A and B are shown apart, each in its own frame.
Chain A
Amino acid sequence: MARSLRVFVLFINLLSSLCLAELKVGLALDKGGRDDKSFNAAAYKGALEAKEKLGITLKTVESSDDISLEPTLRTFAQKGYPLIVAVGFVQRDAVEKVAEEFPKTHFVLIDSTTQASNVRSVVFKEHEGSFLVGALAALSSKSQQVGFIGGMDIPMIRRFQLGFESGVKYVNPKAKVLNNYVGSTSDAWRNPTKAKELALSQYNKGADVIFVPAGASGLGVFDAAEQTQKLVVGCDSNQNWVKPGKVLTSMLKRVDIAVYQAIELETKGAFKGGVFDLGLAENGVDYSLDEFNRNLVTPTMETKLKAIRTEIIKKQITVPDYYLNMKKTASPS
């Protein structure tokens, strides 16, 4: 009996490894594209990792315009991809529609939520991570002025802003925060020229650290930091390497891990729908420390930051959440 059970388990293992090799995963990125070195790049990295470690077949499609999102998802579903990863809140409606039409297909939606049971929605507590990097920015600022440059003016980026500001004020109540947005349309995610102008103006006004959750636009701010020899805080991906010595840290949004985990679950046949809200406690957001910014973060700053981090996780510090501050208590999706 036990023997036959073992054979059976072996057989199942073999079968699953066969399926494993065949799993086709569709990755639909938004306007930023896989080379935004930020949000989409993180998703792409997670999917590539899955390709190497789990042996999946990966097909990546970028959307140059917002209306091609839905046909892209539909084509994936139509072609029989069992798992489709849609990156970016902009894809929410498309995912909702297509998930309803293809109930047997599994979807991963990053940065937005939907109720469909075949969709795994992953959102992040951006305000917690932003609070941390805000605290670090205030600790390292000599001019007592820091800057914030958001991509598109939407509630989600306002959430970054509020978290960042509170982090700055927590460390140094006298510090000033300069705020700017690249734009109010989705082109704001890939307009590095405008972002650079905003950054130069903020640096001129006296800011010496700028936090930039702005997708591919952020690269313009990195240029400005290099030009003016000031500091920048990256976002989403670990961007410390982009301009070594000029990047104080990066607020990590572990989209890569979220994507990898979803693919891994699918290969194990353990895919589960539902909403997953990842914060500091779940390692969904964090700040980065590596050889590129080691010299910029002193041991005192690091100790202080670790203390703040623990306090947020233990809820001794409440980080204000823009979504809750909005008039309607329901979080925008």
Chain B
Amino acid sequence: MKTGSVLKHLGGPLVAILVSGLLTSLLLLLLGESPQILWEAFTSTFFNSFGLGYTLFYTTPLLLTGLSVALCFHAGLFNIGAEGQLHLGAASIVGVALLMPQLPWYFAVPTGILSSMIGGALWGFIAGFLKAKRGSHEVIVTILLNLIGITFVNYLILYPFKNTQVQNPETLGIAKSYFIPPLSSLTALFGSELFRTTPVNFTLFFSLIVAVLCHIFLFHTAKGFELRALGQNTSAARFNGISLTKNTLLVFALSGALSGLVGVNEVMGFQHKLIEGFSPQYGFTGIAVALMARNHPLGIILAALLFGAIHNGAREIEFASEKITKEISILMEALLVILIAGNQYFITQFNRFFKRGPHD
């Protein structure tokens, strides 16, 4: 990829970020707050160890759900089911960990990761199956499967896996061998206090690798090509012997597995148990992340970082202001989505202004 094309890809989102920042500042002014707190929130989410730790912690699940949504997008399918899939993934880890608490860590960690993928993949597969074999619309199916999945996981949390010794709706703790260490344990080795007291853990590195693998799979393998071909032109792809049924099943299972991995960050990396309502809608924010990155796996890394920062920065804004609560993050994310979606229009206008063709 040449520098020019990277700039071209990043230019639109950068403008969108700036404009949404301006609009949010304007809103803050209208509400009688200084827009300076926006800047303070921005700096504190990246430029101190505590803030950066939390930003990266929120980045991890958004990166995974973003990839999950993007993968389906490439195949021309819209997966809104990431929320349900990640719930199933997280519950699978707890189920396996409670069944086999004796495993040594070198078996336990891969088993946990694998079970989260299988749990998510199964939930994704159901949607894929209904789409491929029954022709049900995947948007409806995945939305409804979210409801079923979340309710089912809540049942698991409240009954079979419940920790009866506490008032909270949460499961029993998983065995120590399943824990994924926090990044602060790595920095502590070098005598650094970076990330101390923040929950960011090695799942971050793992999900970065997953993003790269997704990129290779989509753009450098035959199967990835098949998926993209189906997404671009279904009839042409089928005419060339690419199976729609098989690929729909595959892509939904893969997509579900990616969402399921969110459970690794949450259960093995942080809480070490499953708490009812553990996801602040990571699955749905993942759609915005994928949209922002135009479904490019490597772009999703940056988009997830941005949304993670917004999620974290919103709390800083709440602390800095008397009136604004952290729900402002929803507004900022919505602004970004609208601006990105309308992006092409602005680019066309911009190019026309400079008397150049829109696509040169």
Which secondary structure dominates chain B's binding surface? loop
State in angstroms the CA–CA spacing of A186 and B279 once bound together.
14
B48 — nearest CB in chain A belongs to which residue? A78
State in angstroms the CA–CA spacing of A100 and B19 once bound together.
42
Do residues A67 and B166 form an inter-chain contact, with CB atoms below 8 A? no
Counted as pairs of residues, one from A and one from B, with CB atoms less than 8 Å apart, the total is 74
Question: B327 interface residue, CB < 8 Å from A?
Answer: yes
Question: A304 interface residue, CB < 8 Å from B?
Answer: no
Tell me the chain A residues, 135-165 only, with Cβ under 8 Å from chain B. Answer: 152, 154-156
**Distance from A88 Cβ to chain B, minimum over Cβ atoms (Å):** 9
**Distance from A47 Cβ to chain B, minimum over Cβ atoms (Å):** 15
Question: A72 interface residue, CB < 8 Å from B?
Answer: yes
Question: A66 interface residue, CB < 8 Å from B?
Answer: yes
A76 — nearest CB in chain B belongs to which residue? B319
Question: A332 interface residue, CB < 8 Å from B?
Answer: yes
Q: Which of B166, B198, B277 has a CB less than 8 Å from the CB of A333? A: B166
Do residues B276 and A186 form an inter-chain contact, with CB atoms below 8 A? yes
Residues of chain A lying within 8 A (CB to CB) of residue B154: 184-185
A91 — nearest CB in chain B belongs to which residue? B168
Do residues B54 and A66 form an inter-chain contact, with CB atoms below 8 A? no
Do residues A75 and B158 form an inter-chain contact, with CB atoms below 8 A? no
Do residues A90 and B319 form an inter-chain contact, with CB atoms below 8 A? no
Q: How many residues of A contact B (CB 8 A)?
A: 34
Q: Which of A62, A78, A90, A92 has a CB less than 8 Å from the CB of B325? A: A62
Question: B254 interface residue, CB < 8 Å from A?
Answer: no
Question: B245 interface residue, CB < 8 Å from A?
Answer: no
State in angstroms the CA–CA spacing of A71 and B271 once bound together.
13
State in angstroms the CA–CA spacing of A328 and B164 once bound together.
10
Residues of chain B lying within 8 A (CB to CB) of residue A330: 165
A184 — nearest CB in chain B belongs to which residue? B158
Chain B, 249-284, contact with A by CB distance < 8 Å: what is the 0/1 string?
Answer: 000000000000000000000000001111110000
Do residues B319 and A67 form an inter-chain contact, with CB atoms below 8 A? no
Interface-centre pick from A74, A92, A98 (highest chain B CB count, 10 A): A74
**Do A65 and B167 form a contact, CB below 8 Å, given A79-B319, A185-B154?**
no
Residues of chain B lying within 8 A (CB to CB) of residue A59: 319
Do residues A61 and B277 form an inter-chain contact, with CB atoms below 8 A? no
Q: Given contacts A67-B275, A71-B312, A78-B197, could you give 11 more A-B pairs where the C-beta distance is less than 8 Å? A: A61-B319, A67-B280, A68-B315, A71-B54, A75-B50, A186-B276, A328-B165, A330-B165, A332-B165, A332-B166, A332-B167
Chain B interface residues (CB < 8 Å from chain A):
50, 54, 154, 158, 164-169, 197-199, 275-280, 312, 315-316, 318-319, 325-327
Chain A interface residues (CB < 8 Å from chain B):
59, 61-62, 64-68, 70-72, 74-75, 78-79, 89-90, 92-93, 98, 101, 112, 152, 154-156, 184-187, 328, 330, 332-333
Report, nearest first, the 10 A-B pairs whose CB atoms are least far apart. A154-B167, A89-B167, A101-B197, A65-B280, A66-B277, A185-B276, A184-B158, A78-B50, A332-B165, A156-B167
